[in-house]
Amino acid sequence: MSQSHADTIPVRVVAAEQVTPQIKHFTFAPIAGGELPAFSGGSHIIVVMRGAQRVYRNPYSLMSSPNELDNYQISVLRVDPSRGGSAFMHEQVRVGTELEIAHPVNLFALAKLARKHLLLAGGIGITPFIAQLHDLRLTDVPYELHYATRSPEHGAYCELIAQAEPQRARLYHDSARRFIDIEGLLSGQPLGTHVYVCGPAGMIARVLDTARALGWPESHVHYERFAAPPTGEAFDVYLQKSGIDLHVLPDQSLLEAIEAAGVDAPYLCRGGVCGFCRAEVVSVDGELVHNDHFLSNDEKASGKAIMPCVSRARCSKLILNL
Amino acid sequence: MLITGIRSKPVYAPLQPDLGGRYHVMVGYGVGAAPLSRLLGDFGQADPEALARTRVWYVADAASPQANADAFRAAGVAELRTFTAVDALLSDLTTDLDQALMGTRLYVAGPESFMGLVMRIAHGFNLAQDEVRAEQCGTLARRVHCIHCRETIENVRTNIVRCVCGRWLVVRDHYSRRLAAYMGVMVDAEVPGERPEIKEVFL
């Protein structure tokens, strides 16, 4: 089943607000009017940005209420150095700008049968949880949110969270030397609890390692990474089925280069976790640089497959069965 | 044939230690003692310290001598509880899992109907496939749910069974985890009285 990416939704920016020095909050409304597609908390959309030189397609978590579909809201952290996407959103996009977005996809959904939800957010990783909190408030299932930021100034949504969830949320600031006690939290949760983590790579790794060490089964541990495709050296690619030659720039992802060549390649997460863009490697005269979290170590070592959304090659010619 | 090739039929496998678990709860009924003894032996080999975080709950039946309890005790588990009835074990299990922490693994061994009842409780606590291991041993006699009157019939050994509502039911492989029972569907609805031969199939 391949999702058609021609099927994007035209939206207009109806609000744009700088919430911290690095974070900008956007509200999109459908140009056609009416309602946007329904979604569940944890979903992301792909925002298509048509820059002067390149087209960027970046995933952003929806943070608005799943119960209000006349608009979608996202927050964009300005990454420094930016590959182009976050800088585009910060510099070029303002109220009135028209953009295209892809339909929401949820790769970070709440477990419906959980007895308790434990939400761990770091920095901009709070965004999917803001939407999930709307869903959680409608249930009887206990939940708690632990939200860590560098400092109160960098905590884009500290106030919002503190007001919305005075009982169930706890805030932490690195600047005050207050950190989430991951081991303490994970060692005392009732059976049937699900833990969700979204934040910096180091925080996600700590939660996953700690959970495993404390006997949490994988089925109860959920994470969402916000990782831009790593940059690297330029290389050439030949798409065998399409008969297309293309060149991948140092700060461009393989998937972006394939799309720029006019091939409608499949994708969902654009973050190396969902496995949807998996491509078969025919040959490579160098080495593959796997940056995904989907392929097993054996698959990576075999050199037969690659996830073009985040992975690349250190070679002069990569041939794909696309 | 109506009763085969259905994917909801539970699949069981020999019990093996899950060393990734932090606490271990083992429950068994009757002949389930043998797989539990073997499992305890495997734990003793692989990670003897885990036995101090292991509890064994066991229902003896006529076919299982008291000697089993002594074997469990000898393995050095943290707690051994023996019961004389399945219901008492299930009741304690419900109370106990309510207090249990993440990191707990559940191991079940016994006749299929017993495992269904334990698994139903486990699902109620949102235990997933990677937290529960089950090994079937002993009788395959089924709990059958009459889809017409919703009565549950215990210890069904035959392909066709008569429900208290008077209907003759064919016992399907279609299994409900929620009901911990196989579905029984009226066998002669089209032509009353026309029934296949009754055979003992769940031994």
Which tens digits make up the pLDDT trace of B31-55?
899 999 999 999 999 999 999 999 9
Q: What is the pLDDT of residue B5?
A: 75
Q: What is the pLDDT of residue A3?
A: 47
Listed in sequence order, the DSSP H helices in chain B are: 33-46, 67-74, 86-99, 112-124
Indicate yes or no: CB of A217 within 8 angstroms of CB of B130. yes
Q: Which domain holds residue B44?
A: 23-136
Indicate yes or no: CB of B127 within 8 angstroms of CB of A191. yes
Indicate yes or no: CB of B130 within 8 angstroms of CB of A190. no
In terms of domains, do B132 and B148 share one? Answer: no
Residues of B with Cβ-Cβ distance to A113 under 8 angstroms: 126
- Kindly write down the DSSP assignment for every residue of A248-263, as one continuous string: E-TTS-HHHHHHHTT-
Banded pLDDT at B1 (limits 50, 70, 90)? very low
Banded pLDDT at A6 (limits 50, 70, 90)? low
The CATH H-level (homologous superfamily) assignment of domain A9-106 is Translation factors (2.40.30.10)
Indicate yes or no: CB of B125 within 8 angstroms of CB of A215. no
CATH architecture of A235-320: Roll (3.10)
Domain boundaries, chain A: 9-106, 116-225, 235-320
Neighbours of B135 (CB within 10 A): 21
Instruction: Count Cβ atoms within 10 A of the Cβ of residue A156 and give its class: 0-12 exposed, 13-18 middle, 19 or more buried.
Output: buried
Answer whether residue B116 is part of any domain: yes
At residue A16, does pLDDT exceed 80?
yes
Answer whether residue B16 is part of any domain: no
The residue of B25, B126, B129 whose CB has the most chain A CBs within 10 angstroms, and thus the best one to mutate to test that interface, is B126
At residue A123, does pLDDT exceed 50?
yes
3-state secondary structure of A42: coil
Q: What is the pLDDT of residue B4?
A: 65
Answer whether residue B48 is part of any domain: yes
In terms of domains, do B55 and B149 share one? Answer: no
Residues of B with Cβ-Cβ distance to A190 under 8 angstroms: 98-102
In terms of domains, do B55 and B94 share one? Answer: yes
Is residue A216 less than 8 Å (CB to CB) from chain B? yes
Banded pLDDT at A84 (limits 50, 70, 90)? confident
Q: What is the pLDDT of residue A230?
A: 87
**Mean pLDDT over the full length of chain B:** 92
Q: What is the pLDDT of residue A1?
A: 38
At residue A58, does pLDDT exceed 50?
yes
Answer whether residue B195 is part of any domain: no
- Count of domains in chain B? 2
Mean pLDDT to the nearest integer, B1-10: 71
In terms of domains, do B52 and B118 share one? Answer: yes
Answer whether residue B193 is part of any domain: no
Shortest distance, CA A203 to any CA of chain B (angstroms): 20
Q: What is the pLDDT of residue B28?
A: 95
In terms of domains, do B58 and B89 share one? Answer: yes
In terms of domains, do B29 and B124 share one? Answer: yes
In terms of domains, do B113 and B158 share one? Answer: no
> Token pair for residue A294?
């989907």
In terms of domains, do B48 and B126 share one? Answer: yes
Banded pLDDT at A53 (limits 50, 70, 90)? confident
Banded pLDDT at A294 (limits 50, 70, 90)? very high
Mean pLDDT to the nearest integer, A146-161: 91
3-state secondary structure of A135: helix
In terms of domains, do B40 and B116 share one? Answer: yes
Answer whether residue B71 is part of any domain: yes
* A116-225 CATH: 3.40.50.80
Mean pLDDT to the nearest integer, B125-150: 95
Answer whether residue B10 is part of any domain: no
At residue A265, does pLDDT exceed 50?
yes
pLDDT digit string (tens) for B50-98?
A: 999 999 999 988 766 666 778 888 888 999 999 999 999 999 999 999 9
What is the enclosing helix (H) or strand (E) of A31? none
**Mean pLDDT over the full length of chain A:** 93
In terms of domains, do B40 and B84 share one? Answer: yes
In terms of domains, do B60 and B113 share one? Answer: yes
Cα–Cα distance for residue pair B103/B188, rounded to 1 Å: 49
At residue B2, does pLDDT exceed 60?
no
Indicate yes or no: CB of A193 within 8 angstroms of CB of B102. yes
| Bigger pLDDT: A185 vs A226 | A185
Is residue A186 less than 8 Å (CB to CB) from chain B? yes
In terms of domains, do B107 and B28 share one? Answer: yes
Answer whether residue B79 is part of any domain: yes
Residues of A with Cβ-Cβ distance to B101 under 8 angstroms: 187-191
Question: What CATH number is associated with residue B77?
Answer: 3.40.50.80
Indicate yes or no: CB of B102 within 8 angstroms of CB of A114. no
Q: What is the pLDDT of residue A52?
A: 83
CB A117 within 8 A of CB A141: yes
Is residue A217 less than 8 Å (CB to CB) from chain B? yes
At residue B133, does pLDDT exceed 70?
yes
